Homo-oligomer: A and B are copies of this chain.
Amino acid sequence: MADTEGPEQEAAPEKDAAPQKEKMTLVVFSGELDRALAAFIIATTGASMGMDVTMFFTFWGLNILKKNEGPAGGRGFLRRMMNRMNRGGARRLKLSKFHMFGLGTGMMKQFMKENRMPSLDEFIVMAQDMGVKMMPCSTSCGIMGISDSLFREGTGDQAGAAYFINEARDSKVTLFI
């Protein structure tokens, strides 16, 4: 039951007669491995608690959704150059600190494996299986010249800021990560 509804609405029959799930909305702005992990741990935990979770990926966060293989994409020379530097793909992301030419990031991945934690790649698949919606921000995609074909399978449709705000104002938990 969304918290905007008064008691009168509570008596009215729901569209599908099931109680509406509580919502969680995450804006994922960052494209670093550590922040991406935080976002997916929160998203999958929320989904496992029965929440309806939407992740909205914008700016560097789009890198998380990019395929690990294939071209970097982008229309025109400058965008292709920018997208090549900003290659993305869940397996390529770096820690925001202590990346140290891959040493720190590799250590973190090793620690996660030893603790039997899923990798980011596995978290993304898990989240999709749990019904977490992952939408790329249409404005960011437009600016960077990124087309849907660059995103991994299971990525949702592009959506704008108005879509995010509409989800967020019905959500119990909204975070900017």
Interface residues of A in 55-75 (CB under 8 A from B): 58-60
What is the chain B residue whose CB lies nearest that of A81?
Answer: B107
A34 touches which one: B6, B60, B111 (CB < 8 A)?
A: B60
Closest residue of B by beta carbon distance from A29: B38
CA distance A108 to B83 in the complex (A): 11
Contact across chains for B161 and A112 when beta carbons are under 8 A apart: no
How far, in Å, is A73 (CB) from chain B's closest CB? Answer: 14
Pair B161/A41 contact, Cβ less than 8 Å: yes
Task: Specify which of B7, B35, B86 is in contact with A98 (CB 8 Å cutoff).
Answer: B86
> Is residue A102 contacting chain B, with contact meaning CB distance below 8 A?
no
A15 lies within 8 A of chain B by Cβ: no
Whether, in the assembled complex, A110 has its beta carbon less than 8 Å from a beta carbon of chain B, the answer is yes
Contact yes or no, A165 B161, CB < 8 A: no
CB within 8 Å for A4 and B1 given contacts A143-B115, A164-B42, A176-B176 = yes
Give chain B residues whose Cβ lies under 8 Å from the Cβ of A145.
Answer: 111
- Distance of A108 Cα from B112 Cα, bound (Å): 35
In the complex, A160 has a CB within 8 A of chain B: yes
Q: List 18 A-B contacts (CB under 8 A).
A: A24-B165, A24-B169, A27-B175, A29-B34, A38-B176, A41-B139, A42-B164, A45-B160, A51-B169, A60-B96, A82-B104, A82-B107, A82-B108, A86-B97, A112-B143, A117-B139, A174-B175, A175-B175
A139 partner residues in chain B, CB cutoff 8 A: 41, 117
Residues of B within 8 A of A38 (CB): 27, 29, 58-59, 176
Query: Any chain B CB within 8 A of the CB of A18?
Result: no
Q: Is the CB of A173 within 8 A of B162?
A: no
Query: What 0/1 readout, one digit per residue, does chain A (16-46) give for beta carbons within 8 Å of chain B?
Result: 0000001010010101001100100110011
